[in-house]
Amino acid sequence: MKRTNKINRREFLAAAGAAVSVPYLIPSSVLAASGRTGANEKLTMAHIGVGGMGGYHLRDMIARRDRGEVNIAAVCDADEKRLAGAAKTVGKSVEAYRDYRYILHRNDIDAVVIATPDHWHGVQMVHAAQCGKHVYVEKPACCTIEEGKAMVAAAKDNKVSVQVGSQGRSQPEAYLAHRYLVNGNIGHIDKVNCFHYNSPEDSKPVPDSDPPAELDWDLWLGPLRWRPYNKKYCHGVFRWIMESGGGQIRDRGAHVMSCAMWWMGADGTGPVTVEATGTSPTKGLWDSAVTMDVTYTFKNPDWVLTWNQHTGNAVPAERRTGKEPGGKIRRPRYGAVYHGSKGKFVHWGGDGGTWVEKKARQWDLPAGAKDVYQSPGHKEDWFNGIKTGTKTIMNIEAAVGVANLCVLGNLSYILGRKLEWDQTKQEIIGDRQAQRMMYRPQRHPYHL
């Protein structure tokens, strides 16, 4: 692996000064020009965060590189072991970085794939956009309302293509569900009930300790308040901490509710009220809701979306064989039920696996019926957005809308009361405490 961090972070900050402390304030003359890659040219990619889903995205992009579709120039991670493994896997003189800001200074990199923990998504996506990079960022898009506003503005102002990793919209059966529903097969839909199982509890707490030698703990925390290292904060289990993950609603909710907003034609809209209840963990570090019920009320058109997080509430999955199109339903414990004036419709999963009822799979589009967009694949849709300037299927505006549902659900749960939401202003109405919680301080220099 070719290492480029020849100075430590303190030296880097001291030498680069304001350009690093606020890495997006780079002269326009050195920025990568939006749209500079032609339709027949290869995009040059960098990967920020290479564990978990980041590892999946990297392997996928390596396969694309080996087919001659893209170049991979750099990988980045705050964990040296993960970083070294990724660099070895990519090979071919890839450059390895611990700090993502080095990548953003490179003019030869067209696009970045961001698969860091959730608390990094907003800051890194904004900085990447302001440095002229196209962005694929994992879901959920943001952790706060403030971050979501900044992400939308950064993509618009810098004319970059952004795809958020709620890939359920791009699944083959998602297309079948979408066209089935918009053609009125279950009539007018007035309620969508999402189901999921509990968030886990930290049943075996451990004391704080020194971080592993390979982990840059300060950099992993990034914009979060500083706290001592504890292995129950990372890797992976960050999901169950409110400020860095937010529980099942921000994980799978960002998938299942993404499908609902897409199929209901509700992108760009938002609820007028949000009301949540739930149960809290009884011990340990993890503080996301164990069980949770959220009701989102929409107006003009009127419909209700609910999030129901209880172990055992799953709708039994339809029987399938592995030989059927789409294969067996491998994620039957979460999904949604659509209630219409002429019947119901169920889908399971909603992320990398989305399965729908047989009646939608076997429904043929009749003459004169309404067809809908069929994604060629989530990354293919992103590449098309980069090359043509068309909006991606999970563009940043749509993704922030879904993330806001998750954020507002958690805020209502924490505060124990109903919230009113102004979609136009992107603000909570008439609740000063809740309004303050739309934002949170971010540590220097890892901030918007």
pLDDT the model gives residue 242: 95
Average pLDDT, the chain: 91
CATH number for 2-167: choose from 3.60.150.10, 3.40.50.720, 3.90.550.10, 3.20.20.140.
3.40.50.720
**Where residue 233 falls among pLDDT bands split at 50, 70, 90?**
very high
**Where residue 40 falls among pLDDT bands split at 50, 70, 90?**
low
* 208 closest CA partner among 189, 190, 229: 229
What tokens were used for 323? Answer: 């030989």
Start-to-end CA distance of the chain, whole Å, equals 31
pLDDT per position as a tens digit, 186-208: 999 999 999 999 999 999 999 99
Q: Who's near 380: CB < 8 A, 6+ residues apart?
A: none
pLDDT the model gives residue 15: 36
* C-alpha–C-alpha distance, residues 125 and 148, integer Å: 10
Cite the beta strand spans of 49-119 per DSSP E: 70-76, 95-97, 111-114
pLDDT the model gives residue 185: 98
**Average pLDDT in the 258-276 region?**
98
Q: Over the Cα atoms of the chain, what is R_g?
A: 22
pLDDT per position as a tens digit, 369-425: 999 999 999 999 999 999 999 999 999 999 999 999 999 999 999 999 999 999 999
Q: Does the CA dihedral 302-308-314-317 come out positive or negative?
A: positive
Residues 298 and 267 sit within 8 Å (Cβ to Cβ): no
* C-alpha–C-alpha distance, residues 334 and 255, integer Å: 10
pLDDT the model gives residue 285: 95
pLDDT the model gives residue 410: 98
AA identity, residue 231: K
CA angle (17 as vertex; 16, 18 as ends), nearest 5:
115
pLDDT the model gives residue 438: 97
Output the CATH code of domain 169-371+396-436: 3.30.360.10
Residues 78 and 48 sit within 8 Å (Cβ to Cβ): no
State how beta strands 43-48 and 2-3 pair. unpaired
AA identity, residue 252: R
* Domain limits, the chain: 2-167, 169-371+396-436
Residues 69 and 41 sit within 8 Å (Cβ to Cβ): no
Residues 410 and 249 sit within 8 Å (Cβ to Cβ): yes
AA identity, residue 22: V
Residues 304 and 297 sit within 8 Å (Cβ to Cβ): yes
pLDDT the model gives residue 433: 98
* 313 closest CA partner among 236, 198, 219: 198
Helices (H) and strands (E) in the chain, counts: 15, 16
* C-alpha–C-alpha distance, residues 77 and 92, integer Å: 18
What tokens were used for 73? Answer: 């120039």
Dihedral Cα 205, 206, 209, 214, nearest 10 deg: -90
